[in-house]
Amino acid sequence: MTFEVDGVRFGCLLGMEIHYPELFAEYEKLDVDCVLFSTSGTPGNTAAQAQGHAAVNSYWVSLAVPAQHSAKAPSGIVAPNGDWLARCPTDDSPSVAVVNLDDTSEAAADAVTYGRPWRREARAGVHTGHQVIDPRSEDRTAAF
């Protein structure tokens, strides 16, 4: 699902979907500017994964977790370069993280202007003609 607010395109994911990079990649293909991710479970390494998804796809990621998990992984917003721009307190208090989703900001400009178009070109097959074909990769049981 995607929706748009004031020209900003959003996608939504939740729960264990943080563990599926293909879902985040699909939102990149759908040209979202920000993925809103929420989970009610114990965050574990969710914050690190949110950073990775933002950086790999060059878009904003919002992480929302219950306040009682804030000591381990507070809610926040990750910029397209993978930097945290806002984090909620780690004291279990209810709070909200707020940032401007500004693609021209220092935290977003290079990722959005250069990183995202480059990845799209690479994923579209620009390197296909330069791939090495090696029979050992095709049949790993053969003796060479």
pLDDT at 64: 94
pLDDT at 144 exceeding the cut of 70? no
Strand residue runs (E) in 22-98: 34-38, 60-64, 76-78, 84-87
N- to C-terminal Cα distance for the chain? Answer: 49
Mean pLDDT of the chain: 90
Listed residue (44, 50, 51, 45) closest to 82, CA to CA = 51
The structural domains of the chain, ordered by start, are 2-138 (3.60.110.10)
Burial per residue of 59-96, b for 16 or more beta-carbon CB atoms within 10 angstroms, e otherwise: bbbbbbbebebbeebbbbbbbbbbebbebbeeeeeeee
pLDDT tens, position by position, 75-93: 999 999 999 999 999 999 9
User: CA 65 to CA 37: how far, in whole Å?
Assistant: 9
Average pLDDT over every residue of 50-71: 93
The model's pTM is 0.83
pLDDT band at 42 (very low <50, low <70, confident <90, very high): confident
- The number of C-alpha atoms within 13 Å of 119 and in the hemisphere containing its C-beta is 16
Reading the block at residue 126, the tokens are 């620009």
Average pLDDT over every residue of 40-49: 84
pLDDT at 26: 95
DSSP secondary structure code for residue 80 in this structure: T
